[in-house]
Structures are given as structure tokens and as C-alpha cells.
Structure 1
Amino acid sequence: MKYPFSHIGIPTTDEKNWDGFYEPGKIHYTDFTKDEYGVEWIKFDSDTPMPEMMQKLPHVAYLVDNIEEAVEGKEILVETFSPGEGVRVAFIIHNGSPVEFMEVKE
């Protein structure tokens, strides 16, 4: 199934004007909706529990209606979690790269 594109996440070690911090994952991030090209910059603290692949490789993100259906039968990189109210995300490995599925409830 094809899903609508949401954004691209690019890991960095540079300091940015961070829009948020996801404490459980030790992830600083910018708001991709503010970027004209849909780029989300992400920086991981040294004690992040996130897999190395997430820390080193960019990821593309797609909007899904049902995250459980989207990840069914896929190789899971990061189990489903909620980085904010009304949002659930999960990461899979697709052809050796991370892909994010994002379910947003209004």
C-alpha cells in the first residue's frame, strides 16, 4: 500500500532552534511543518535508547490511518510510541533504511 508522504527526518550533531524534546527517546527535534521542504532535524542525546540506525541515517515518514495495519509483517526498528498528544509513530526497516509511519488523530 502507498501512503501520503509526511516529512524527512535528518539526524544532526549541530545545534538548532529545537521545537521540542522527546524525553523517553532523548531526541531533540524541529517542527517539519515549519520547514518549506518538510525537513525535521533530529539530534540524539548521548544516552538515547534509540537504535544506531535511527541516529545515523535519515528517515522518510508517511501518514497512515492505522499504525498496526501499516507495520503488520514488517521488520520493526522502533515499536509504536506516542511523541505527543494524538500522535503515534513506529519505525520499520525498509531496504536497510528507517521508515516512519505516523498516525495522527484530530
Structure 2
Amino acid sequence: MDYKFSHIGIPTTEEKNWDGFYEAGKIHFTEFDKDEYLIEWVKFDVDSPMPEMMQTMPHVAYYVDNMEEALEGKELLVETFSPGDGVRVAFIVHNGAPVEFMEIKE
């Protein structure tokens, strides 16, 4: 499995110039590809259903070619979901920290 670095996500309680909102997860986010250091800021609404670990700890994200293969044998934190067209995302727990996998289909 090839893991290609994508970004680091940092939870915050501060207001930012949000680029988007993922309704199902109640997550406000900035677009990491606009940041010179590939940082994605994330803020969770009080009633967000996302796990506490995801809401309180930074995560590192990797592009993967095959989501099912990438998740095989891993401890799942957040099931695969689609935050946008052609994008699938899932989170695992790795050594006590959240890791994001992103699968992009053209």
C-alpha cells in the first residue's frame, strides 16, 4: 500500500475563514491545499457526532489508491464517508492518534 502525504488537520475552537461545512459531521473546515504548510483547520459544532479523539487531537492525512485495502486490519475510528464528489474519507486509530485516509476518484 502506498501512502502519499496529504495534510495535517488541527482541531480548533477559534473562528476562521471557513472554506466549507460538512453537515453530516457538523465540521467546519479550511482547505488544506490553500495553506502553504498543508494545514487543515477543523472546528466541530457542539452537537457533532464525530468521536472525541477526532475533535481534540490533530490528525495526519494520506492519499490512498484503494480505501478498502488501506483499512484492512486497521482500528476504525470513523467509517468511510464522502465529504464531496469523488472523495472518500475514513479515519483509523494508529498508536493512539487519528489518521485520515483519502481516496480521490477523478
The TM-score by the shorter chain falls in which range? over 0.9
1:2 offset after TM fit, Å? 4.4
Q: Write out per-residue CA displacement over residues 46-101 of structure 1, whole angstroms, 9 at most, x where no aligned residue.
A: 00000000000000000000001000100000000000000000000000000000
Q: Distance in 1 between matches of 2:75 and 2:2?
A: 17
Partner of 1:14: 14
In the alignment of these two chains, the number of paired residues is 106
Q: TM-score, normalised by structure 1?
A: 0.98
- Report the Cα distance in structure 2 between the residues aligned to 1:4 and 1:64, rounded to whole angstroms: 7
Counterpart contact for 2:4–2:63, Cα < 8 Å:
yes
Output the aligned Cα RMSD.
Answer: 0.6
Q: Structure 1 regions of 5+ residues with no counterpart?
A: none
Unmatched 5+ stretches in structure 2: none
1:73 is aligned to: 73
Give the CA deviation at 1:102: 0.2
Output the CA distance in 1 between the equivalents of 2:2 and 2:54: 22
